[in-house]
Amino acid sequence: MTRQRLLVISAVVLFVAAIVLIVIVRQRAARHITPQALAVPVTAPVKPGRKIKALLFYVSMDGTKLTGVEREVAYGDGHAEQAQQIVNAQLAAAATPLVSAIPPGTTLRALYLNEKGEAYVDLSKEVSTAHTGGSQDEALTIYTIVNALTTNLPAVKSVQLLVNGKEVDTLAGHIDLREPLEKNLDLVEP
């Protein structure tokens, strides 16, 4: 009876030890993977070829403004294609310590540029559904795109954001999006 008990206890101890070992190994593996995942360059997708230098915008350290960072962006043939490349670079995950004001998972569906210099940037629904919901963050999200296009492409005078192909009142309930917006450098830290 005593031997049987000892066997059962040993089996339980071994089982627990095995579980703990597995958890530790998985945690270490995860820690090892994280830096690589964050290291995706902002200029993704990377493809060999011509590049231009562009000023991209990220959340400032104090969280209240945008900060401009110079990055290489794929060359685009013509204003509209170049605008697409800039937006795509802006939507890509930011490498630490940069923090992007674009909600994760947001993709560019289409981009139009008219003769008045108004760019229409059609973003996927995540720009709205995955947003933090703060009014300040909403302004930072909007002007990340507006400023990236108007600062780097003089041909773009103003930008209107569309969500899933449609005009929207706001992204998260605060900032008016029904008209194209002009560059706003008040939101960019000096």
Partner 1 sequence: MPSALRLSLALRYNGPVLRRTALVILLLSAPLFSQQNSFIVLTRDARRAIATTTVNEQDYVALDDLAAVFQLTVREDAIGGLTVGYKGKTILLTPDQPLASVSGRVVSLPAAPIRNAARRWLVPVDFISRALSLVYDAKLTLRRPSRLVLVGDLRVPRVQIRYDAIGTGGRLTIDATPRAASTMSRDGDQLTMKFDADAIDAANVTGAAAALPGAAAQGLIQSVRMADAVTLAFTVGPRFGAFKITSQPSDTSMRQTVDIASGAPGQAPDATPAPAPFPAPPPDLSALTPSAAPVSSVRTIAIDAGHGGDDEGAKGAEGTKEKDVTLAVARKLKAALESKMGVRVLLTRDEDRNVPIDDRTAVANNGKADLFISLHANASWRPALSGATISTALFEHQAEQAARALAPELVPAFGGATRDIEFVPWDVAQIPHLEQSATLARVIEESFHDHVPLAMTPIDAAPLRVLQPANMPAVLLEMGYLTNPDQEKQLAGADFQNTLVQALVDAVVKFRDAMDDERRAAAFPEAAK
Binding footprint of partner 1 on the chain (CB under 8 A):
59, 61-64, 99-101, 132-137, 139-140, 169-170, 172-179, 181-182
Nearer to partner 1, 111 or 187 (CB): 187
Those residues whose C-beta lies under 8 Å from the C-beta of residue 111, and which sit 6 or more positions away, are 80, 83, 84, 87, 119, 120, 121, 122
DSSP state of 5: H
β-strand pairing of 158-163 with 108-113: unpaired
Min dist CB 157 to partner 1, Å, is 12
> 């998260």: which residue's tokens?
172
Min dist CB 112 to partner 1, Å, is 21
Q: Please state, in angstroms and as integers, the Cα–Cα distance from residue 55 to each residue in 34, 69, 149, following that order.
A: 26, 5, 9
- How far, in Å, CA of 98 to CA of 118, rounded? 29
Nearer to partner 1, 78 or 134 (CB): 134
Nearer to partner 1, 51 or 125 (CB): 125
Min dist CB 144 to partner 1, Å, is 11
Nearer to partner 1, 34 or 132 (CB): 132
Min dist CB 74 to partner 1, Å, is 26
Determine phi and psi for 130, rounding to 5 degrees.
-100, 15
